[in-house]
Amino acid sequence: MSIATAINQEATLATAPKLTMIEAINSALRLEMERDERVVMFGEDIGSNGGVFRVTDGLQTRFGPKRVFDTPLAESGIIGTAVGMAVAGLRPIPEIQFAGFSYVAFNQLASQAAHIRLRSGGLYACPMVVRAPYGGGVKTPEMHSESVEGLFMQTPGLKIVIPSSPYDAKGLLAAAVADPDPVIFLENIKMYRSFKQPVPTERYVLPLGQAAVIQEGTDLSVFAYGAMVKVAQDAAKSVHTQTGASIEIIDLRSIVPLDEETIVASVTKTGRAVVVHEAPRMGGLGAELVAIINENCLYSLLKPVLRVTGYDIPYPHAFLEDLYLPTPTRVAQAILDTLED
Amino acid sequence: MSIATAINQEATLATAPKLTMIEAINSALRLEMERDERVVMFGEDIGSNGGVFRVTDGLQTRFGPKRVFDTPLAESGIIGTAVGMAVAGLRPIPEIQFAGFSYVAFNQLASQAAHIRLRSGGLYACPMVVRAPYGGGVKTPEMHSESVEGLFMQTPGLKIVIPSSPYDAKGLLAAAVADPDPVIFLENIKMYRSFKQPVPTERYVLPLGQAAVIQEGTDLSVFAYGAMVKVAQDAAKSVHTQTGASIEIIDLRSIVPLDEETIVASVTKTGRAVVVHEAPRMGGLGAELVAIINENCLYSLLKPVLRVTGYDIPYPHAFLEDLYLPTPTRVAQAILDTLED
Amino acid sequence: MELATLNNLERTDKPYQILDLEGQLVSDAPTIAPTQLVAMHRWMWLTRMFSDKIVALQRQGRATTFGPLNGQEASAVGIAAPLLTQDWLGGSYREVGSYMVKGIAPRAFIHGLRGYPLNELYSPEAHCLPFQIVIATQMLHIVGIAMAEKIKGSDAIAVGVCGDGASSEGDFNEALNFAGVFKAPAVLVVVNNGWAISVPRRLQSAAPTFAARGVGFGMPGVLVDGNDVLAVYKTMSEAAARARAGDGPTLVECITYRTGAHTTADDPTRYVPREDVEYWKERDPLVRFRRYLFDRQLLDESGEKEMVAGIEAEINEAVQADEAETLPAADAVFDYAFQELTPRLERQRGEMRREIEAIEQQRLERGTH
Amino acid sequence: MELATLNNLERTDKPYQILDLEGQLVSDAPTIAPTQLVAMHRWMWLTRMFSDKIVALQRQGRATTFGPLNGQEASAVGIAAPLLTQDWLGGSYREVGSYMVKGIAPRAFIHGLRGYPLNELYSPEAHCLPFQIVIATQMLHIVGIAMAEKIKGSDAIAVGVCGDGASSEGDFNEALNFAGVFKAPAVLVVVNNGWAISVPRRLQSAAPTFAARGVGFGMPGVLVDGNDVLAVYKTMSEAAARARAGDGPTLVECITYRTGAHTTADDPTRYVPREDVEYWKERDPLVRFRRYLFDRQLLDESGEKEMVAGIEAEINEAVQADEAETLPAADAVFDYAFQELTPRLERQRGEMRREIEAIEQQRLERGTH
Ligand SMILES: Cc1ncc(C[n+]2csc(CCOP(=O)(O)OP(=O)(O)O)c2C)c(N)n1
Ligand SMILES: Cc1ncc(C[n+]2csc(CCOP(=O)(O)OP(=O)(O)O)c2C)c(N)n1
Ligand SMILES: [Mg+2]
Ligand SMILES: [Mg+2]
């Protein structure tokens, strides 16, 4: 949450109920459906089952099967029909049960949802929010842990949002639903129930494209998003304890659009940076960040920016995933290396 | 072609016939099918029609419809059956008619071909070469011009090769077919017939993962591949004429594996670099290159590395594509900017 | 009136025909006003002449790659003519004829085929999805639209059209399945023109018809003579009525033939057997329908000549008007990524403008222009 | 012997049955040696007991997420039992039973289900494709394998198995289509267990059966009682014979029921109607086949007890053996990207090793361990 928003919300937050990310997203969906008749939701197991993670719990009962419904098991079908619904004036919120299965719908996302505006010369748009759980660390089967933001940032026409807290999730989801273009909204599985946070009952909007400064600092900037924000915080704390270094942590929150101003301002100030993500390193957001830093603050840069990421191998088997994912240990090591003169 | 290879091949080249890239690839395919019974080829229109670009011309007649055949119009089906064939011991060379249509087969490529080794604990492999024309500048309809290397470098388990000349195409294709893992072989459409080059009649192999120094230089390194090599050459020539600068041009040739040693050595020497590709900028290979340079030669770097690339928008309409693609003018400007003190 | 029953919508064995090759009635004709019948003939002519014109423009470098429409005019017109304004239509590049019937002006296509983004000439009131290049994907969009209209409680239906080749794509089958499961008010049409570029129809499916695909997705499948505009019209009317009544989707297969090349980039002599050409020449959809109209004195030779001349003038004017128009600036490409440019794209647009200026500068320096 | 004809392979109306609920013959039994019949019963027991064991291990944190096999044992065994060693089998996570019949040792699965990469226990001679998680994709691999075996001129066939939910994916339909067009020596099986997680069968297709999908792809579709191991066996034998004879693919639908949860992470009480549970209890495949074997004195109560005890010992030993094994090092993950590590991956492996050492160091410093 940005500082400005924080001040505005302070009063409300004091009395707000504490929610998990699942509950916060459920609340956002409920509010969007209440205020806008055009909003419909569908996917696999989102109806009576309330989603395999219960994110859509109770919504079919509340809004009826016309607006909240299960579909056949076909991701391309889910996204392809959502594209049609968006063109016909609805505001679909399709769910892909796990982000890795977006590969099956890749074409409908990257060449269809993303291209409706282009193909129609702006006569039609494709406002929709594709929700998908993503991320590792919970010992799932194959293709359940993939981070896909690195793919969709290479296929322009799609926005990509990744919240790292219940509060952000609710506000960013409201912005995504209001957005006139397709948004991929990635929900970190490990964070779904990992902690609660005060979340206002009413609707609020956190604009897309604004990073959040989680912790200010002067010696080094750490960039992260989703579950990696917490990993960055743990690492920063341990380094601070060890060395007293003042570490700035920035939660990117939105990959497209990316808040480059905040990134550049931070590194211009600190001169050192580490970027952390779960996705493979090669061509991941970390690479893009280094490129942005290189272009805009090379002369402020005291040390190479280090990338702490998933490795460039297929996502490993459940019991071998722990060291594939960035750990506080690995991030702390990178911070220490980068702090060295 | 690397210098060592050049010396070896010098004698042969003097008498070699001059071929277009199409002819060189056709020759490579023919030789592979002759020497290895396990090689089979299939796709849309590759049989009697010889491919929409005639790359497979005459091959069905030569090897029969059992080994060279047309398929139903279904890219996921083409790649999915190829995966099965590879597991069953064949060496399939499926064609995707235009690389952009690989989106339809994205899952079979990124979660299947790429994961056979992982999923089977190494008991099975998936040796296959997916050929696909790619690239812009020839005024094609939607989804015919996309560069896809930036996508598949984010889905580990796939190799990616992009030749920039008839000679390289033939030698790299031989290596790709011999490789024990899946290779995506991207053929630039604009270069298919743009020039001829002496290409030996017999089989030869250019190993994957070795960049080629197209032109040595000391002031600045330009990295490119595919059709952008020529664009880089034209830009370098004009800058050289204008300023006398000594520009090194490196053709990456293979994206995965990437020849990082050559990249790092070059920038360590020149201290300045520009990278050129057709694909969108965000998370493209350019970003990765900057990240590699940042990690390995930050202290040699005199200026920010500039990226001259496709913009972060959907590939534009035919008559608006010219300035979307990197031109010699734009690359020259980037080189000049980077040469400035 | 056998055709009015659902049974008829389940014919998958023999193509349904109303007019035989001589233009004689072999089944009951649908009730269509005489002016509408003549209009249908004009649309068929418009389709053919538009196609010929674009091919000519393409040869002169005035249009991009184009897929000729010749031979398929009866399907094109018969598919679209029974639809209402509010009904949606989504097809491939080959459905230009259907789209013109539905209300898209020829000039809107000319603009697009010259390689520019569609403009306001492409009337949204016609409810036509901009053409699809990635084969078969539009079938899912159409089913989504049909689902949306049902959710909204409107009486609009949605018609998806694709080729025989498209039937092999996963998306085609997923579209049938979603349509069936959600009882979407949709008609899904396979225009079987014998070829997918060079790949013959027999390599697309081992089943004797594509219409047979319907049963496995819980919907009727109808096989119709796609060169018989009345048969296509009547089948589509009934399928549309069925959809509109809430009785669910129908799969229609129109058997026709692509008598031209796949596109201006294609050389069909490499793969089309000669016999085919002869066989289908006799089945020219315009010849058949002309006979029908002439026999009934709804049109005569001179009337048809006038019609053709009118169409020619109309097309030429459209081409001239479009070529006279000021073209979009190179940096217009930035208008279609998002409704509002992101800061990053603003910067990139600046980058492109810098290049545009540099090129202008070079031009001035060289003294050219 | 009605079933031996092709006609029989086209039943799409009523599931084919050999044993009724009481274990009485209602069609001719296939010719199977008595020892093989008893072996089939044992495999069904093995399937069920293996499943129960993994569920128990999962509850204790000794296994990862697992999809129980209960209720589907007759389909599992009937699908695989007629296959030859050289025949390929590719299924989803739910096909553990079939794979064990085909020759994969229980311990190979235990190892995998503990979250580790498959090892050499997963015998390649069994010709079983490692399980597929991305629903339906294996169907295309199997058709590709069948095409390869045909190209190679071998006499092996390939059998693909998936669920009712999987039938909705594009890949499933593309697999049917490729199999039909290339007359692949394949048998494609839909194990219709009524659910795709919480989504009921009726939401997967508007057609009355999945078997009806066959006709639209030019192949016979057969509906079989999936809780009748003899009916499944006989159907699969004939479909396999047909494929082996070069007569092309067959689509088989086994009607069965998932009596447990979708996986250990699922709570079926949220969506499964009570009546279902009762209805399917009476159709327990083991009960039915036990009656058949008992009636014929091929097995008796004490024999079955011994059988069950033997299986229990076998499974427990496998678990113990596997848990005793030295586990792969964390950096083994680098072994499965490519046959040879690229220089980049060598460096990354080094990076991981550095972390492993750092953790070890921390541990030593803390004095733990
Ligand atoms: C997904 C995809 N694959 C391949 C192509 C290339 N392609 C363009 S048209 C065509 C054939 C289409 O055949 P059909 O569906 O029968 O339509 P027709 O051209 O005959 O009208 C192919 C293969 C494409 N545009 N999209
Ligand atoms: C492409 C894909 N989408 C979604 C899932 C999540 N998922 C796992 S199992 C399953 C249901 C499968 O149903 P069915 O095919 O009937 O097989 P069953 O589990 O009943 O054996 C779903 C939706 C997946 N694994 N892959
Ligand atoms: Mg066709
Ligand atoms: Mg099921």
Which of A111, A100, A94 is CA-nearest to residue A43? Answer: A94
Residues 6+ apart with CB under 8 A from D136: A73, D162, D166, D167, D169, D170, D171, D172, D175
A-C contacts at Cβ under 8 angstroms: 133
Q: Is the pLDDT of residue B228 over 50?
A: yes
**pLDDT number for residue D12:** 53
Task: Read off the pLDDT of each residue in D251-280 and give the average, rounded to a whole number.
Answer: 94
Collapsing DSSP states into helix, strand and coil, what is residue A192? Answer: coil
Separation of alpha carbons D173 and D190, rounded Å: 12
Q: What is the pLDDT of residues D171-198, one digit of tens each?
A: 999 999 999 999 999 999 999 999 999 9
Collapsing DSSP states into helix, strand and coil, what is residue A210? Answer: coil
- The half-sphere exposure of A48 on its side-chain side, counting CA atoms within 13 A, is 14
**pLDDT number for residue C227:** 97
**pLDDT number for residue B8:** 60
Separation of alpha carbons A146 and A154, rounded Å: 16
**pLDDT number for residue A3:** 54
Residues 6+ apart with CB under 8 A from A45: A51, A52, A70, A97, D197, D198, D199
Report, as ranges of residue numbers, the positions in chain A whose pLDDT lies below 50: 1
**pLDDT number for residue C326:** 83
CA A144 to each of CA A140, B91, B152: distance values in angstroms, whole numbers, following the listed order: 6, 30, 18
Separation of alpha carbons B328 and B315, rounded Å: 19
Q: In what order do the strands lie in the sheet with B306-310?
A: B212-215, B247-251, B220-224, B273-280, B306-310
CA D11 to each of CA C112, C149, D158, D220: distance values in angstroms, whole numbers, following the listed order: 51, 37, 22, 8
Separation of alpha carbons C260 and C282, rounded Å: 15
Overall pTM > 0.95: yes
**pLDDT number for residue C3:** 32
CB-CB neighbors (< 8 A) of A106 in chain B: 103-104, 106-107
Tokens standing for residue C268: 């069909």
**pLDDT number for residue D8:** 43
Q: Is the pLDDT of residue D284 over 50?
A: yes
Which of A78, C294, C52 is CA-nearest to residue D135? Answer: A78
Q: Is the pLDDT of residue B1 over 50?
A: no
Confidence of residue D1 (pLDDT cuts 50, 70, 90): very low
Name residue, tokens 């790292």. A164
Active-site option among B115, B144, B240, B317? B144
Q: Is the pLDDT of residue B53 over 60?
A: yes
Picking from A79, A104, A256, A282 by the largest number of B CB atoms within 10 A of its own CB, the best residue to mutate is A282
Q: Could you tell me how far CA C359 lies from the centroid of its own chain?
A: 40
Of A118, A142, A286, which is closest to B119 when you measure between CB atoms?
A142
Collapsing DSSP states into helix, strand and coil, what is residue D201? Answer: helix
How far, in Å, is the centroid of ligand 2 from the Cα of A140?
14
Q: Is the pLDDT of residue B107 over 60?
A: yes
Q: What is the pLDDT of residues D346-360, one digit of tens each?
A: 999 999 999 999 999
DSSP D19: B
Separation of alpha carbons B197 and B211, rounded Å: 19
Residue A43 Cβ contacting ligand 2 at under 6 Å? no
Of C145, C171, C342, which is closest to A87 when you measure between CB atoms?
C145
A212-215 and B183-188 beta bridge pairing: unpaired
C-beta of residue C106 within 8 angstroms of C-beta of residue C315? yes
Alpha carbon distance, N-terminus to C-terminus of chain D: 69
Any B CB within 8 A of D171 CB? yes
C-beta of residue A282 within 8 angstroms of C-beta of residue A184? no
Residues 6+ apart with CB under 8 A from A245: A217, A219, A220, A239, A335, A339
Residue B320 sits at the vertex; the CA angle it makes with B319 and B326, to the nearest 5 degrees, is 120
- To the query of whether residue C271 is one of the catalytic residues in this protein, the response is yes
**pLDDT number for residue B2:** 53
How far, in Å, is the centroid of ligand 4 from the Cα of C218?
19
Q: Whose CA is nearest to atom 20 of ligand 1?
A: C196
CA D315 to each of CA D48, D312, D326: distance values in angstroms, whole numbers, following the listed order: 11, 5, 19
What is the nearest CA distance from C175 to chain D, expressed in angstroms?
Answer: 9
Separation of alpha carbons B279 and B188, rounded Å: 12
Query: What radius of gyration, in Å, describes the C-alpha atoms of chain A?
Result: 20
Collapsing DSSP states into helix, strand and coil, what is residue B293? Answer: helix
Q: What is the dihedral of CA C2, C4, C7, C8, to 10 degrees?
A: 70
3-class secondary structure per residue, C37-51: HHHHHHHHHHHHHHH
For chain D positions 218-237, those within 8 Å of chain C (CB to CB) are: 218-219, 221
Collapsing DSSP states into helix, strand and coil, what is residue C25? Answer: strand
C-beta of residue A150 within 8 angstroms of C-beta of residue B284? no
C-beta of residue C205 within 8 angstroms of C-beta of residue D181? yes
Task: Read off the pLDDT of each residue in B301-316 and give the average, rounded to a whole number.
Answer: 98
**pLDDT number for residue A225:** 98
Q: Is the pLDDT of residue B187 over 90?
A: yes
How buried is A285 (Cβ within 10 angstroms: 0-12 exposed, 13-18 middle, 19+ buried)? buried
Residue C48 Cβ contacting ligand 1 at under 6 Å? no
Confidence of residue B14 (pLDDT cuts 50, 70, 90): confident
The residue of chain B nearest to residue D116, with distances taken between CA atoms, is: B121
Separation of alpha carbons B172 and C364, rounded Å: 44
**pLDDT number for residue A341:** 87
Judge: A108–C344 Cβ closer than 8 Å, yes or no.
no
Task: Read off the pLDDT of each residue in B115-126 and give the average, rounded to a whole number.
Answer: 97
CA C308 to each of CA A171, B98, C298, C304: distance values in angstroms, whole numbers, following the listed order: 61, 38, 16, 6
Task: Read off the pLDDT of each residue in B91-108 and give the average, rounded to a whole number.
Answer: 98
Task: Read off the pLDDT of each residue in B287-300 and give the average, rounded to a whole number.
Answer: 97
Task: Read off the pLDDT of each residue in B14-18 and give the average, rounded to a whole number.
Answer: 92
The residue of chain C nearest to residue D209, with distances taken between CA atoms, is: C216
C-beta of residue A233 within 8 angstroms of C-beta of residue A214? yes
Report, as ranges of residue numbers, the positions in chain C whose pLDDT lies below 50: 1-9
CB-CB neighbors (< 8 A) of D136 in chain B: none
Residue D258 Cβ contacting ligand 2 at under 6 Å? yes
Which of B290, B273, B162 is CA-nearest to residue B225? Answer: B162
Which of A275, A265, A332 is CA-nearest to residue A300? Answer: A265
Residue type, C107: R
Picking from A148, A242, A313, A321 by the largest number of D CB atoms within 10 A of its own CB, the best residue to mutate is A313
Residues 6+ apart with CB under 8 A from B211: B250, B251, B252, B253, B254, B259, B262, B263
Collapsing DSSP states into helix, strand and coil, what is residue A223? Answer: strand
Separation of alpha carbons A56 and A94, rounded Å: 11
Strands (E), chain C: 88-92, 128-132, 158-163, 186-192, 195-196, 199-200, 221-225, 250-255
Partners for B (CB, 8 Å, 3+ pairs)? A, C, D
**pLDDT number for residue C5:** 34
C-beta of residue A164 within 8 angstroms of C-beta of residue A227? yes
DSSP C158: E
Residue type, C2: E
Picking from B39, B44, B70, B119 by the largest number of D CB atoms within 10 A of its own CB, the best residue to mutate is B119
Judge: B103–C134 Cβ closer than 8 Å, yes or no.
yes
When the pLDDT of each residue in chain D is averaged and rounded to a whole number, the result is: 94
**pLDDT number for residue B341:** 87
